[in-house]
Amino acid sequence: MNLTRISEFFVQAVMFGVPLLYGAVGEILTEKVGHLNLGIPGIMYVGGISGIIGGYFWETYGNPNNTVMCILCSLLSALAGSALMAFVYAFLTITLRANQNVTGLVLTTFGLGLGSYLGSALAGLLGTDTTISLNATSAAYKKLFWVDIKLFGSVFVSFGFLTLLAIVIAITASFVLQKTRVGLNLRAVGESPATADAAGINVIRYKYAGTVIGGAIAGLGGLYYVMDFIGGSWSNGGFDDRGWLAVALVIFAIWRPKLAIPGSILFGGLYILYSFIPNLPRSSQEIFKVFPYLVTIIVLILTSVRKKKENLPPASLGLPYFREDR
């Protein structure tokens, strides 16, 4: 493998990893307040289609040459769509104290259905069969803060604004969780809501904030996928498996947003490795695709065997909180 090929591999690994990073950081925030949201695939999917819809309306009724508005419309629309999905989950599991696993899975079913439905409906509106393409919006994403990184002297590697944003969000989330009062309270809510409640922390408010903001961040993963990864188009069922990989990445990163950054690149690399190994038979390609999941299982086992407290999932993960339950 020459240098060009290696940097190509790196770029693709990052590109594949960014949606996972968004999804994982969102899920980490959610899990830190004690909620296991298995609706992440659905939320990411809805985030993607919401971004497309927002971009479509600006391109059709606004001025497609206005880069900032192109981005703003699709970005806000993606955030709103995914936050709304996360809110449904939050309302059911926090206020109505429904079972988190079941609610999350229903949210995934619902989100995948909704996304595909809206995708088909929008395609019908456009008169195309199944695909929608938004060239102006996608180009806007690539223009803004596009950085070229020099690798190995001669090869340029380029990343767009959403890639940088993902890293910024991950580092910010790490900082907030580890170094601020808000983060401390947030973690307390996830570890032991009763103790947090007794200490005067508004448990319900923190739980809502964690799940809804987490969902909105995860939704950006969908937006990145549609705008940057495939260049502003939508086809149904495009990326539903990425959501589960994001959930896997949370474990790999042992609930630390900062660790999710190298983790996402590693996952992306493992996932695309098969296409970079020459003369790999088709059967072995399928075996290569299992690596991200195998690595996750190994991490899961190792952390539970070592039982280091800071590496374990939040203690109240998956349990509903009712103040009078004692």
Partner 1 sequence: MSNNTKLHHNEPLIRLSKKTALPVWKAWAIRLGAFLFAVLFCAVIILILTGSNPIEVYRMMFSGSFGTSRKFWNMLQSLAMLLIVSVAVTPAFKMRFWNIGAEGQVLAGALGTAAVMIYCGGKLPAAVVYPLMVVTAVVCGMIWAVIPAIFKALYNTNETLFTLMMNYVATQLVAYLIVFWEKPKGSNVVGTINNPYGDGDWFPAVFGQKSFISIAVVLAITIAMFVYLKYSKHGYEISVVGESENTARYIGINVKKVILRTMLLSGAICGIAGLLLVAGTSSQTISTATAGGRGFTAIMVSWLAKFNPIEMILTSFILVFFERGAGEISSELSQSFASILTGIVLFCIIGSEFFINYKINFRKRHKEDKGGEAA
Query: Which residues sit at the interface with partner 1, rule CB under 8 A?
Result: 36, 38, 88, 92, 95-99, 101-103, 105-117, 120-121, 200, 236, 244, 247-248, 251, 281-283, 286-287, 289-290, 293-294, 296-297, 300-301, 304-305, 307, 313, 317-318, 322, 324-325
* Contacts of residue 325, Cβ cutoff 8 Å, sequence gap at least 6: none
Residue number, 63 or 202, with CB nearest to partner 1: 202
Residue number, 71 or 317, with CB nearest to partner 1: 317
**DSSP conformation letters of 222-279:** HHHIIIIISSSEE-TTSSHHHHHHHHHHHHHTTT-HHHHHHHHHHHHHHHHGGGGSTT
Least distance from partner 1 to the Cβ atom of residue 308, Å: 12
Cα 249 from Cα 28, distance rounded (Å): 10
Residue number, 39 or 160, with CB nearest to partner 1: 39
Residue number, 1 or 287, with CB nearest to partner 1: 287
Q: Which of 209, 204, 267 is nearest to 241 (CA)?
A: 267
Residue number, 11 or 248, with CB nearest to partner 1: 248
Q: Is the dihedral of CA 302, 177, 91, 49 positive or negative?
A: negative
Amino acid making up residue 196: A
CB distance 264 to 289 below 8 Å:
no
Residue number, 123 or 144, with CB nearest to partner 1: 123
Name beta bridge partners: 156: 150
Least distance from partner 1 to the Cβ atom of residue 63, Å: 30
Least distance from partner 1 to the Cβ atom of residue 326, Å: 11
Least distance from partner 1 to the Cβ atom of residue 21, Å: 18
DSSP state of 309: G
CA distances from 22 to 192, 245, 280 (A): 26, 11, 31
